[in-house]
Amino acid sequence: MTPTDLTEIRALIAAHKRWDLVFGVVGLLALMIGVLTFAALFIDMALGGAPRLSWDFFTSFPSRKPDQAGILSAWVGSTLVMVVTACAAVPLGVAAGIYLEEYAPRNWMTDLIEINVTNLAGVPSIIYGLLALGLFVYGLGLGQSILTAGLTLALLILPIVIVATREAIRSIPAVIREGAYALGATKWQVTSDHILPYSLPGILTGVIIGMARAIGETAPVITIGALTFIAFLPPAPVSAEPPFLSFEWIMSPFTVMPIQMFNWTSRPEAAFHQNAAAAGLVLVVMTLSMNALAIFIRYRLRKRIKW
């Protein structure tokens, strides 16, 4: 190799390093724009809504007087709707993902299902609201209830959970399956004792993303008839008499945090806008708390797997 060739190689390497530096700077600027924009909006919302946060704000019903209005019915409704959503979407989505990845035959029908599941993850949420209005409200007669809202949001996040489950299963090394089969394990034993435990952290990531999207959705719950003003709570899920559990709350009318915020921001008084900022701050904290819990569970699962 001649000195001229070495010089050309060094020049080529230097040029590539310069482009790497340029790409890194551009990527950092793009990241900072997004982060700073979110931080500015969040700080503005926090400064506007923090003075309104108090115990009465959490324990009071909505009111026509902004200084007496609260979010009691809204945060209780959001919590109950999320419980129904999680109970419906997570088992069904994980089971569907396991079947498609481990049990489904590789043919045109499976390919068609996979394509449709992937496409459904990008469908606008209002479409799910219209589907739920025809299927759950009018078709099955469930009415404008917490159950309807939970099932609607479960349909919304179901494709996300399925795709995340499949990707988590695909990340498991093939040697784990081969080693289990070599020891005489059945397909279900391999799936339940090896594949599912190792893929749980990835599955929980998909559940986090789906639930975080669902708790902030407004269009589907408005479409199915969620109330914008509600001054009562659903029946308590726990009773003092046997069997100590009551499911009457499932069929109760409801409202959620995003709808309460929309109701307040649509009013001209500045005090209601401050209430909306406070409700938005609470909604962000609820979302972060839910994500933190899922991340903690994921961390514990990974730690247990390592041991």
Beta-carbon count within 10 A of 221 CB:
28
The reported pLDDT for the residue numbered 92 is 92
Q: Could you tell me the mean pLDDT of each successive run of 10 residues in the chain, 307 residues long?
A: 67 76 88 87 84 85 83 86 90 90 83 84 84 85 86 90 88 83 83 84 83 84 79 76 75 85 83 87 83 77 62
Residues 151, 78: one domain? yes
Residues 197, 237: one domain? yes
The CATH number of residue 148's host domain is: 1.10.3720.10
Residues 24, 82: one domain? no
| 291, 294, 295, 299 alpha-carbon torsion, rounded to 10° | 170
Residues 35, 150: one domain? no
Residues 43, 73: one domain? no
Question: Distance between CA 298 and CA 31 in Å, rounded?
Answer: 26
Residues 170, 31: one domain? no
Domain boundary (33, 51, 69) is at 51
Number of domains the chain is built from: 2
Rg of the Cα trace of the chain?
25
Residues 97, 171: one domain? yes
- Nearest residue to 283 (alpha-carbon basis) of 58, 85, 61, 122: 58
Residues 144, 34: one domain? no
Residues 12, 148: one domain? no
The reported pLDDT for the residue numbered 5 is 64
The residues with which 84 forms a beta bridge, in sequence order, are none
The residues with which 238 forms a beta bridge, in sequence order, are 245
Residues 152, 37: one domain? no
- Nearest residue to 305 (alpha-carbon basis) of 206, 168, 163: 168
Domain boundary (18, 36, 51) is at 51
Residues 31, 58: one domain? no
What domain range includes position 78?
54-306
The reported pLDDT for the residue numbered 1 is 58
- Nearest residue to 132 (alpha-carbon basis) of 208, 212, 217: 217
The CA–CA distances, whole Å, from 214 to 32, 68, 90, 151 equal 26, 29, 13, 11
The reported pLDDT for the residue numbered 58 is 86
Residues 229, 282: one domain? yes
The reported pLDDT for the residue numbered 306 is 54
